[in-house]
Structure 1
Amino acid sequence: MLRHMLKLIWKRKSRNMMLSLEILLAFLVVFAIAAFGLRYWQLYQLPTGHAYQHQWSVTIRSAQDLPNDGALFDNLKRSLLALPEVESVAFSSFGTYEMSRWTENYALPDGSNRLQVDSLNVSDDYFATMEMTPAAGRFFSRADDGADAIPVVINRRLADQWFPGKPAVGQIVVLKVDGKQEVSRRRIVGVVEDFRSHGEFMDPVYFMLLRWVPGTGKDAVNNIMLKLKPGTPRIFESRLNAKLKQVRSDWSYVVTPQTEARSSMLNTQLVPLKILGVIAAFLLVMVAFGLFGVLWQNTTQRIPEIGLRRALGADAGSIYRQIVSEQMLLSTVAMLVALVLVIQLPLTGVFGDSLNWTVFIAAVVLSASVIYLLSLLCSLYPGWRAARLSPTQALHYE
């Protein structure tokens, strides 16, 4: 039966060619959307490495660069801790769930294994404020004052890349700046499993958290991270802003609960997927109309053939199954050709971890299911119409 249907499809290859190309294109589009969506779902399941439920971010806006004044930052911290709703205060270069990003090039002391690393300057209280726990080593503290290298905490991904099979804690890495001979040393004091500053849909990257001390160095930070008591209402923002104004009235402050920042970030990151979804839905509707029209025309042109089969004793069910089976077989052939094309993507690693084998296999299965369902729905009515033909009507068709 299979060989017979393949012969029938091959004899009508000129008419089936455009139909096959249409199915192939639809499969590729559905595959792209499915892979995109499944990668988002996979990322969403990964830990971000920090909390957000009770954390608020305060961004300091100033007409001039912020001074790295230790007394000023100490005054800010003490004033905020005086509020009964505030449990912990920390400082950082930027907040989580923001589009801000800072990357630098680091390498081992001998210059090998040079990597581009996302980095963030944070104060000692940052880890407690963000409810982080070390996977190895410790977080930096006052015990690191006067250290011969800047204490840093890195994520597991970076530790495994630099020091596979051995402990990363205590190791030295250096900042590599093109065109400069001097190097800035960093000592790894702790490792966290992960840290994704952009939230759940951020691809895992190499990440480093560097110790920042108020009053030390030239650069200040312009973000305050707060951990508030559970149940703190949004109206607390007015009291918080008033307290900050008491410290520096010439600055402006943007207060953002991290729950709201997270929701906004997730919505922003989902925009490309929503746009592609709309495009894919429109394309599938057009493909469905095309499939239905072509199948209707093919069935009409095959009425004499169908009538001969009925005259030879084939029942209506057999005709119906033939029309549907031929369409499913044609879809299978088109998708096999598409599969040969798309399998090159994970084999070559052109998209890296974004198209890993788990995502690829799931996307192929989902895409094939959609195309088979579409083909089945489009072939049901033409098959039913062909099955209703009587041998007399079919053999007298002109």
Structure 2
Amino acid sequence: MLKHLFKLIWNKKKENFLLISEILISFMVIFAVFTLLVHNYRNYKIPRGFDYEQVWSVSLGELSGSKDKDSVMLMHKNLRNTLKSLPLIKDLTLSSSNVPFSNSMYRTTVSYKGKEAHTDIFHGEISYEEVLRVQLLSGRWFSEDDNAAAKRNIVINELTQERLFGSGAALGKIISMGGEDLKVIGVAKDFKDQGDFKAPTPAIFLRIDTSNIRDASTILIRVGAGADATFEGKVYKLIASTVKSSNLEIKHLSDLRKNKNKETTIPMMIFFIVAGFLIFNVALGIFGVLWYNINKRRGEIGLRRAIGATASSVSGQLVGEAMVLATFSLIIGSFFAIQFPLLNVFDLPASVYLTAQFLATVFIYLLVVVCAFYPGKQAAAIYPAVVLHEE
């Protein structure tokens, strides 16, 4: 029966060319949709590596006054003591401006024995780990003991360890950054700071000290559960009275996360709407063609019923023909889809493309079955006597 259906469709390939083309285009669009969905879902399932809840980012902006190190350190010390006197502030840390979910980014290159990794670089104090609750896999975070270290200490994440050391241990190794030797003292979980749908990247963490404290333009504050808008206003006034800044600003990391996620979800929703309209039109096309074929083949169907064909066999033939049409389209579409992992298009894992191809194939078959079910049922309801009388 299946061989007969393939032969029947192949003999009418010119008549079915338009429908095959519609299903092919629909498959490629669905393949793109599922590729996007699978990729974003995989990224969403990756652990974040830190805790953003109840954390505020205070941008100090352009500070006026002396740029002397001692003056800057005294200013930060006074600000820290003032803020810590508030009961709802649990902890705080100076940080570089590239806080999680911000649009700021610092990049650098680190190397080890000829291997290089292009990484994000985050600066923070000893309390940075506690404020963001960075999750360490091995080693330790920065401490006061690092002040006497011969080399600057550094904490790296999993991806950086993989790029530089493969499956080997990273603790105690000396890596190079801009001609400076740094000692790895800890390995943290991957730091997914660009939103829920963005994969983490290689990253390193450096401690803020007297050599780079003038570049610390942001304060991260972990607050208690009762911190509201009134308390935020109080914090703003305290900071404004302590430092002289032209554009002081307080943001919540939870709000920054929502805004960062919108950069992915809004274009994705627009793409899904456009794809949905296309699929709906293709479904109407399949339904209309099958409906037209039934009316065109009423004589054939009535004759088959008259010589003993059951209603289920007539309905099954029409659904089977639609499935064979879909198969022709999917064979062609799969040829193009398989090129994406082979050519490493968009630098995505091959498993993403293969999963998307499987889901798109299942979706197309389900779509064709749904569209063919009602016309097939109508064909099975044709009475042989009525059709033969019309003929």
Q: Give the match for residue 207 of structure 1.
A: 203
Whether 1:82 aligns to 2:77 is no
* Conserved? CA contact 2:139–2:171, under 8 Å: yes
Q: Give the match for residue 270 of structure 2.
A: 275
Q: Give the match for residue 191 of structure 2.
A: 195
Q: Give the match for residue 389 of structure 1.
A: 382
Whether 1:92 aligns to 2:95 is yes
Q: For residues 185 and 397 of structure 1, what CA distance do their matches in structure 2 show?
A: 92
Change beyond 3 A, Cα 1:250–1:157: closer
SS at match of 1:227: strand
Amino acid at match of 1:153: V
Q: Give the match for residue 343 of structure 1.
A: 338
Whether 1:155 aligns to 2:148 is no
Q: For residues 293 and 349 of structure 2, what CA distance do their matches in structure 1 show?
A: 39
Structure 1 unaligned blocks of 5 or more: 177-182
* Conserved? CA contact 2:337–2:357, under 8 Å: no
Whether 1:49 aligns to 2:45 is no
Q: Give the match for residue 228 of structure 1.
A: 223
Identity between Structure 1 and Structure 2 (%): 30
SS at match of 2:229: coil
Amino acid at match of 1:225: L
Normalization by structure 1: what TM-score?
0.90
Q: Give the match for residue 294 of structure 1.
A: 289
Change beyond 3 A, Cα 1:204–1:66: farther
Per-residue CA distance 1:196-230 (angstroms, 9 max, x = gap) = 221322212111111221x3247512111011123
Whether 1:360 aligns to 2:353 is yes
Range with greater deviation from structure 2 (113-122 or 145-154): 145-154
Q: 1:319 aligns with which of 314, 323, 331?
A: 314
Normalization by structure 2: what TM-score?
0.92
* Conserved? CA contact 1:122–1:209, under 8 Å: yes
* Conserved? CA contact 2:54–2:225, under 8 Å: yes
How many residues are paired up?
A: 387
SS at match of 1:195: coil
Whether 1:379 aligns to 2:375 is no
Q: 1:216 aligns with which of 211, 216, 228?
A: 211
Range with greater deviation from structure 2 (324-333 or 276-285): 324-333
* Conserved? CA contact 2:64–2:244, under 8 Å: no
Range with greater deviation from structure 2 (87-96 or 196-205): 196-205
* Conserved? CA contact 1:303–1:397, under 8 Å: no
* Conserved? CA contact 2:121–2:204, under 8 Å: yes
* Conserved? CA contact 1:70–1:216, under 8 Å: no
Q: For residues 150 and 64 of structure 1, what CA distance do their matches in structure 2 show?
A: 30
Q: Give the match for residue 179 of structure 1.
A: none
Whether 1:128 aligns to 2:130 is yes
Q: Give the match for residue 70 of structure 1.
A: 73
Amino acid at match of 1:116: H
- Alpha-carbon shift at residue 311 of structure 1 (Å): 2.7
* Conserved? CA contact 2:55–2:253, under 8 Å: yes
Q: For residues 369 and 268 of structure 1, what CA distance do their matches in structure 2 show?
A: 30
CA RMSD of aligned residues (A): 2.2
Structure 2 unaligned blocks of 5 or more: none
* Conserved? CA contact 1:35–1:355, under 8 Å: no
Q: For residues 200 and 12 of structure 1, what CA distance do their matches in structure 2 show?
A: 49
SS at match of 1:210: strand
Q: For residues 345 and 57 of structure 2, what CA distance do their matches in structure 1 show?
A: 37
- Alpha-carbon shift at residue 6 of structure 1 (Å): 0.9
Change beyond 3 A, Cα 1:313–1:237: same
- Alpha-carbon shift at residue 146 of structure 1 (Å): 4.5
SS at match of 2:321: helix
Q: For residues 362 and 160 of structure 1, what CA distance do their matches in structure 2 show?
A: 25
SS at match of 1:61: coil
Amino acid at match of 2:15: R
